Amino acid sequence: MPLSDYITLEGFSEAEFTEKKSRFIGYVKHVETDGAAVDFINEIRSRHRKATHNVYAYILREGSITRYSDDGEPQGTAGVPVFEVLRKEGLTDICCVVTRYFGGILLGGGGLVRAYSKAAKIAADAGVRKVMKSCYPMTITADYNLYGKLSAMLPKFPVKVTDTDFGAEVKISLICPEGDVLPFEKEVVDICCGNVIVQKGELSFEDFA
């Protein structure tokens, strides 16, 4: 996967389990800023004011920000394991909060690491993954007699058609991964013998899952 591409989760997901009478609830949410991550953490804390711990970790693409907290658990047994799950899953722009209600039985350091890791993993697995690629929105405008050639050519490239407008001319709107723009544009011009208008918008990240 190119360095500019990344994986995230769509929206919000949660999952829970019980380990030796302690209840662990994992929450995962797509966030894009430090403020959004903090708001989500505070939202979960507010929802579970009586919980023993609300451990968190988040990873942001903007500024390469990473943060985590054990929230009172022994150092290294909670926040780091949650963070490591997110990292190993390759997730970015993501925040995970794991709430624990203590059940009266000590889990020990290793038990805590496993429990917090499991809570983060099952919450992440409950979410919908999105592969975000750096792409350009493009518009191809051509005569109707070229539409058949264009339609046959498009599947050869990893583009995603978003709209087709059959007006005075055929106008095809699509998104194209950054690394494929030049060969794609050349192919379009070649098969249309130059009788085509190709417009390119501004670079952005789009879901290519």
Residues 165 and 70 placed together within one structural domain of the fold:
no
The number of folded domains in the chain is 2
Q: For position 4, what pLDDT does the model report?
A: 72
DSSP one-letter code for 192: T
Asked whether residue 2 carries a pLDDT value surpassing 60, the answer given is: no
Whether residue 120 lies inside any domain: the answer is: yes
Supply the CATH number for residue 15's domain: 3.30.230.30
* Domain boundary residue, one of 71, 91, 126: 126
| Residues 133-176: tens digit of each pLDDT | 899 999 999 999 999 999 999 999 999 999 999 999 999 999 99
Within 10 angstroms of residue 172's Cβ, the number of other Cβ atoms is 21
Supply the CATH number for residue 201's domain: 3.30.70.240
* Domain boundary residue, one of 63, 94, 126: 126
Output the pTM of the full model: 0.77
3-state SS assignment for residue 130: strand
Q: For position 13, what pLDDT does the model report?
A: 96
Whether residue 1 lies inside any domain: the answer is: no
Domain, as residue range, for 148: 133-207
| Residues 18-28: tens digit of each pLDDT | 999 999 999 99
What is the C-alpha separation between 186 and 180, in angstroms, rounded? 10
For residue 99, give both structure tokens: 């709430």
Residues 26 and 111 placed together within one structural domain of the fold:
yes
Residues 148 and 118 placed together within one structural domain of the fold:
no
| Residues 43-74: tens digit of each pLDDT | 999 999 999 999 999 999 988 899 999 999 99
Whether residue 32 lies inside any domain: the answer is: yes
Of 8-12, 119-123, 174-178, 199-203, the range with the highest mean pLDDT is 119-123
- For the stretch 163-167, contacts whose Cβ atoms lie closer than 8 Å and that sit 24 or more positions apart, written own/partner, are none
Q: For position 43, what pLDDT does the model report?
A: 97
> What spatial distance separates the first Cα and last Cα of the chain, rounded to whole Å?
13
- For the stretch 77-82, contacts whose Cβ atoms lie closer than 8 Å and that sit 24 or more positions apart, written own/partner, are 77/109, 77/112, 77/113, 77/116, 78/53, 78/112, 78/113, 78/116, 79/55, 81/112, 81/113, 81/114, 81/116, 81/117, 81/120, 82/55, 82/56, 82/57, 82/116, 82/117, 82/119, 82/120
Asked whether residue 209 carries a pLDDT value surpassing 50, the answer given is: yes
Q: Phi and psi for 82 in degrees, rounded to 5?
A: -65, -45
Q: Which candidate, 129, 118, 128, places its Cα nearest to that of 25? A: 118
* Helix (H) or strand (E) run with residue 112 in it: helix 108-125
Within 10 angstroms of residue 164's Cβ, the number of other Cβ atoms is 14
What is the C-alpha separation between 141 and 200, in angstroms, rounded? 12
Asked whether residue 1 carries a pLDDT value surpassing 80, the answer given is: no
| Residues 83-135: tens digit of each pLDDT | 999 999 999 999 999 999 999 999 999 999 999 999 999 999 999 999 898 99
3-state SS assignment for residue 40: helix
Asked whether residue 42 carries a pLDDT value surpassing 50, the answer given is: yes
Residues 82 and 155 placed together within one structural domain of the fold:
no
